[in-house]
Amino acid sequence: MDTTNFKTYFTLNLDIEEAEISSLIENCPTKTFSKGQFLLRENEFCKHTFFVESGLLRQYSIDNKGKEHILSFAPENWFVTDRESSYFNRPSSYYIQALEDSKVVLIDEGFMQLVAQKIPNFTDFNNRLLHNHIRHLQTRINLLLSATAEERYLQFIEMYPDILLRVPQTMVASYLGITPESLSRVRKELAQRNFRR
């Protein structure tokens, strides 16, 4: 199956030759998920990091009142996994689901170690990914602590203009930590104050 994005992602981020990548990537199965299908469910053990070749995924949890809370969206060229489960080997508390028909590369621990052996600066690369993740989470916490629904929405538009157009509003609301109704009103407010798109 075609894994163009995965390959270019690697060549861009690692100092590595085309041929070598291709031979490495052979070790990674690719899988197709159709809209609505699950890549991971609560209480399962997460065994992979998923690289999104095409399509769109979401990672979310369901709280004790039955409400969904989206932790992250993953469009093409993004990684997603439950590190808590995969790294610490615990049952996951999250779901990962396809929001569009998606092609996904499945990366397991063995592959990581293989690449780490073959490619010297892979650990650095991995480190960068982790740091990026942390930065991202930290920003979000800060936002949840300090910003109103409207401010968070505006920030979301800034950061993920593409995703905004690809998912139902309900899900944006769930990401922002508000109800769909509230988001609708926020949008109305903004529209009335002559805010476009």
Partner DNA sequence: GACGGTTCTTATCATACATCAATGGCCGCC
Partner DNA sequence: GGCGGCCATTGATGTATGATAAGAACCGTC
Query: Which residues sit at the interface with DNA, rule CB under 7 A?
Result: 65, 148-150, 168-170, 177-188
Q: Which of 111, 115, 104, 133 is nearest to 31 (CA)?
A: 104
**CB of residue 187 to a copy of itself, shortest distance in Å:** 20
- The answer to whether 61 contacts a copy of itself (rule: CB under 8 A) is yes
Alpha-carbon distance 57 to 171, whole Å? Answer: 12
With contacts defined by CB under 8 A, name the span among 6-14, 15-23, 97-105, 139-147 that binds a copy of itself. Answer: 139-147
What are the tokens at 18?
A: 């085309």
- The answer to whether 141 contacts a copy of itself (rule: CB under 8 A) is yes
Binding partner at 83 among DNA, a copy of itself, none, C-beta below 5 to 8 Å by kind: a copy of itself
Please answer whether residues 49 and 154 qualify as being in contact, where contact means their C-beta atoms are separated by less than 8 angstroms.
no
Give 29's Cβ-side CA count (13 Å radius). 6
Alpha-carbon distance 73 to 163, whole Å? Answer: 8
Comparing CB distances to DNA, the nearer of 31 and 185 is 185
Please answer whether residues 102 and 57 qualify as being in contact, where contact means their C-beta atoms are separated by less than 8 angstroms.
yes
Residue choice 35, 41, 67, 188 for contact with a copy of itself (CB under 8 A): 67
Three-class SS state of 82? coil
Helix (H) and strand (E) counts in the chain: 9, 8
User: Which is it for strands 56-62 and 95-98: parallel, antiparallel or unpaired?
Assistant: antiparallel
**CB of residue 188 to DNA, shortest distance in Å:** 4
Residues 69-88: x where in contact with a copy of itself by CB under 8 A, - otherwise, as a string: x-x-----------xx--xx
Comparing CB distances to DNA, the nearer of 114 and 154 is 154
Enumerate binding residues for a copy of itself (CB under 8 A). Answer: 61, 63, 65, 67, 69, 71, 83-84, 87-88, 93, 123, 126-127, 130-131, 133-135, 137-138, 140-142, 144-147, 177
